[in-house]
Amino acid sequence: MPAIPALITSIFMSAPLGGESQGEGWSAVGVQRDVAKIHQLRCGPFTCTLGGGNGEAGAFNTHLVFMRAGNLTIGQWGHRRTLSAGDIFVGCAWLPMTFDAVDEIELMVVELPAWWAMQRFLDRFLILPDLYVGRDFFAAEIIAQLARTVFELEDGDDAGAARGLEMIADLMRSALAACVDPDKAMLRASGRMGAILGFIARNLDQPGLSATDAAKSLKCSVRTIYKTCATYGTSFSAFLTEVRLVTAQHRLMRTDERVSQIAYGVGFSSLSHFSRLFRARFGVQAKSLRRIRSRVLH
């Protein structure tokens, strides 16, 4: 059944969105809603293993998995959790993950940039092994309904999508605080790359961030920061720049902030330096991207 693992990989490793696909008893629909990609999936039994991020920006995403029918066992960080209808699981794409479904399942997956999730609800729980909200928690169904509502919005309703995602983030923060056992914290090294990303997300607007700053904040050596980033095929400086540029791109497309305001707001101290890096990364000038957005909206 090769199509199923390929489909799971495409959803959890940030492949381009497609229309509805059908075959071998499965179907999938994916839509873009503000900063999130939201997928609805129905499929039969399968087993799949994802190896985690390889340094590409798309691998550093957070996934909210909403079970709607069937049972799915997800393993991450050495822990396994079997989800049933109504359960919510938080997965981190930069770490290996396993999936095992023994029957037909239906789920919704909300894919969020990790920097966005960490700024809003994930930062306190980053080094915990099992981020899970059970269906018995009073707000679980409310969060799931919000996700469905955002999925069903009309294309172009960016304001509605942004409000809905912010509400989901606020509720997830409260739900995780109520449902996650803080005594199960792992050694910080187990989630080191995620911790580095969390540090960047919390300090993104601060110019001059360095691996030394990260090491001091995370209570480890600078060598550990360098080694961790190298394991993911990147460097601290390159990773920091990538997160800043992707954040700037999001703000350019989703807000009316001035280009200079965005550049300085994500930590660049030089507007000309930001402009050069932005064009090299996205193949278009930041001001041109803003004009393209204006034409699309009007």
pLDDT, tens digit (0-9, with 9 covering 90-100), for 3-50: 666 777 777 765 555 544 545 667 888 899 998 999 999 988 888 888
Q: Which range is least confidently modeled, 62-66, 94-98, 133-137, 179-183?
A: 179-183
Residues 6+ apart with CB under 8 A from 290: 252, 259
Select from 152, 184, 216 the last residue of a domain.
184
* Better-scored residue on pLDDT, 124 or 289: 289
CATH number, domain containing residue 19: 2.60.120.10
Residues of the chain with pLDDT > 70, as a percent, come to 82
Greatest mean pLDDT among 126-140, 152-166, 193-207? 152-166
Looking at the fold, whether 15 and 126 belong to one and the same domain comes out as yes
Per-residue pLDDT at 189:
40
The domain of 240 spans 192-297
Per-residue pLDDT at 234:
84
Total tally of structural domains belonging to the chain:
2
Per-residue pLDDT at 73:
95
Select from 184, 209, 242 the last residue of a domain.
184
Looking at the fold, whether 178 and 135 belong to one and the same domain comes out as yes
Looking at the fold, whether 8 and 128 belong to one and the same domain comes out as yes
* pLDDT band with cut points at 50, 70 and 90 for residue 261: very high
| Structure token pair of residue 156 | 């172009």
Whether pLDDT at 108 is above 70? yes
* pLDDT band with cut points at 50, 70 and 90 for residue 227: very high
Looking at the fold, whether 170 and 214 belong to one and the same domain comes out as no
Per-residue pLDDT at 293:
55
Looking at the fold, whether 127 and 12 belong to one and the same domain comes out as yes
Residues 6+ apart with CB under 8 A from 34: 158, 161, 162, 165, 254
The reported pTM is: 0.71
* Better-scored residue on pLDDT, 74 or 23: 74
Select from 162, 184, 206 the last residue of a domain.
184
Per-residue pLDDT at 69:
95
Dist CA 204 CA 172 (whole Å) = 22
**Looking at beta carbons, which pairs linking 255-264 to residues 24 or more positions away fall under 8 Å?**
259/286, 259/287, 259/290, 262/286, 264/205
Task: For strands 36-43 and 105-113, give the pairing.
Answer: antiparallel
Looking at the fold, whether 259 and 149 belong to one and the same domain comes out as no
Whether pLDDT at 55 is above 50? no
